[in-house]
Structure 1
Amino acid sequence: MSAETPGPRRSNYSSMPVAYAAIGASSAPDLLRFPPAESTPYEETLQLGSGTERFLTAANLLMTWGAQRVAGVEVVDIDPGEPSEYPGVHFTETGTPELGAAREELFTPEGEAYLLAGTTASFVVGSKDPRRILVVTTVNESNRLGFAWGDRDEVAGYGEQQLTVEIREDSTVWAVARGFTFQSSTGITAGLKQRAHVKEAVAQAQAFLQALAPGAALRNGVAKPADEPDENDQSADDQPSA
C-alpha cells in the first residue's frame, strides 16, 4: 500500500457498502506508515496467555461477537447477507488488495456460526444511536483468526477496525486491534475533534482486547462461554470446525 491510498471521499458508485473508499486497509501491513489519506491509524496489542487452548477459546469468542458483547456493546440487526452481495477483501503478500474468495463457514464446538464477510449489524452502547457496520473481511489462517468491520455511515470518528487473535512461534497468544479513523468535521476545532475520535477508537479497541482475556466475561457479568476451558485443562476439543 502506498501513501496514495484512497481517503474518505465517497465512491461514485451508489453500491459503496461503507462510508469510506479504503475498504480493507486495516489489514494492510504498512497501515501505520501509510494510512488512508486524511485518516489517523492506530494499533493495540494484548497478550492473552499461551497455548492452543487459549488461542482457540479466544478465537471462538472473537468470531461470535464476544469481544463486543463482553465489552458492553450490544450487537443487533445482524444480517449475514448473501455470498454474492459482498465477497470481502484481503491483501496479498505484496500488499495488493483483492476481492475475497468464497465465504467459508466455520463453527464453534457448540455449533455457533462464525461471522462472515458481508455481514451487516449495528453496535449499540447505552443511549447512543446505533452504529451501522459491515464486516469487510475475515482472517482465517492456521495461526490467526479475526475480522475487520467498517462504518456504513459518516458518524463521528468513522473508519475501520480489524480484530485478530494469533498464536506465535513461542506459543504465546495475542489479541491485536488495528484501525483508522477519518476526520468528520472541518474548521478550527477539527484537529481537537479528530484527536478525541482517535482516543475513543483506541479506548474501544483496548476494551475489545481486554474482553478476550481469560475471565473477562465473568468479571463483566457476562455468562461464561460454553467453550471456556479450565486453565488447567490441556484438551483441545474446542477446535473450530468447517
Structure 2
Amino acid sequence: MTRLIRSLATAGPPPLSYPEVGATRTRPLPAGYHHLRVEVPIGSGRDVFRTAGAAVTTWRVHRASGARIRAESPRAEPGAGVEVSLGLGPLRLTAPCEVVWTVYEDDRAGFAYGTRQGHPERGEESFVVDLRADGSVWFTVTAFSRPARWYTRAGGPLVPVVQRWYARRLGRTLRKIAAG
C-alpha cells in the first residue's frame, strides 16, 4: 500500500491526450478533428493591445467570462497545468489542460493549452491577441478537438456550437476589459 501511495504521489500530472501538440501554432490543423477559428475585433492602439494581451495571458478574460481557473502559474507558461471549469453545481464540467506554447512579442501575445487525460475533449485551443499593421487589435481563438467522453460524444453537433459561443463570449469579454 505504501508503494502505491508513493507511486501516485510521484506520478506527476496526467499526460496530454492527443499527439498533435503545437498544431494551433504551426498549422495546418490536423485532420480528424472539429476545427474552430473565431476572430473578434477588440479595439485599436498599443494600450488596448497591452491590456488585452495581459488579460489573456493571466487568465483574467477566462475568469471574467465565467470560467473557474486553477492554474499552476499566474501567467501562461509552457508546461503549466490549468484546470478550467464551467457550469453550476452538478452540471459543472472540469477540464484539465496544460499550456503547450506561448507567445510574448511586440505585436502578438497569447498561448495555447492542450487537453490532458480526463478532459471531455481531445485537442488544443489557442488564445492570441494581435496588434495589426493598421493599429487594430484582434483576438483569435483557434482550436481542434474531438470528443473524449461519452457525454461529449452524445452531445454530437451541439458541442461545436457551444465551443463557438464560448469563444465569442471570450472576445466580447476581452473587448470590455480592454475598453476599461
Higher relative contact order (CA 8 A, sep 6+): 2
Structure 1: gaps of 5 or more residues: 1-13, 81-112, 216-227, 231-242
What are the superposed Cα offsets for residues 136-186 of structure 1, whole Å, 9 maximum, x if unpaired?
110122210000011112543332110000100000000000001114379
- 8 A Cα contact 1:150 1:160, kept in partner: yes
Q: Give the alignment partner of residue 59 of structure 1, picking from 53, 59, 65.
A: 53
- Code of the residue aligned with 1:28 in structure 2: it is T
Structure 2: gaps of 5 or more residues: 1-11
Alignment-derived partner of residue 115 in structure 1: 76
Q: Give the alignment partner of residue 133 of structure 1, picking from 97, 116, 120.
A: 97
Are residues 115 and 157 of structure 1, via their aligned partners in 2, closer, same or farther at CA, if it must alter by over 3 Å? closer
Partner SS state of residue 63, structure 2: helix
- 8 A Cα contact 1:157 1:197, kept in partner: no
Quote the RMSD (CA, aligned, Å).
Answer: 2.5
What are the superposed Cα offsets for residues 17-61 of structure 1, whole Å, 9 maximum, x if unpaired?
311111111113433xxxx23211110011111000100011111
Structure 1 length normalisation: TM-score? 0.61
- 8 A Cα contact 1:156 1:197, kept in partner: no
Are residues 144 and 124 of structure 1, via their aligned partners in 2, closer, same or farther at CA, if it must alter by over 3 Å? same
- 8 A Cα contact 2:78 2:102, kept in partner: yes
Partner SS state of residue 133, structure 2: coil
What are the superposed Cα offsets for residues 107-127 of structure 1, whole Å, 9 maximum, x if unpaired?
xxxxxx532111102112223
Alignment-derived partner of residue 218 in structure 1: none
Alignment-derived partner of residue 47 in structure 1: 41
* Alpha-carbon separation, structure 2, partners of 1:182 and 1:229: 35
* Alpha-carbon separation, structure 2, partners of 1:145 and 1:58: 9
- 8 A Cα contact 2:33 2:146, kept in partner: yes
Shift of the alpha carbon at 1:195?
2.0
Partner SS state of residue 213, structure 1: helix
- 8 A Cα contact 1:122 1:130, kept in partner: yes
* Alpha-carbon separation, structure 2, partners of 1:50 and 1:205: 20
* Alpha-carbon separation, structure 2, partners of 1:66 and 1:145: 14
Are residues 154 and 197 of structure 1, via their aligned partners in 2, closer, same or farther at CA, if it must alter by over 3 Å? farther
- 8 A Cα contact 1:132 1:151, kept in partner: yes
Structure 2 length normalisation: TM-score? 0.80
Say yes or no: does 1:170 pair with 2:164.
Answer: no
Instruction: Count residues in correspondence.
Output: 165
Say yes or no: does 1:79 pair with 2:59.
Answer: no
Partner SS state of residue 175, structure 2: coil
Partner SS state of residue 50, structure 2: helix
- Code of the residue aligned with 1:119 in structure 2: it is A
- 8 A Cα contact 1:53 1:229, kept in partner: no
Are residues 42 and 229 of structure 1, via their aligned partners in 2, closer, same or farther at CA, if it must alter by over 3 Å? closer
- 8 A Cα contact 1:123 1:133, kept in partner: yes
Say yes or no: does 1:70 pair with 2:34.
Answer: no
User: Larger strand proportion, structure 1 or 2?
Assistant: 2
- 8 A Cα contact 2:94 2:119, kept in partner: no
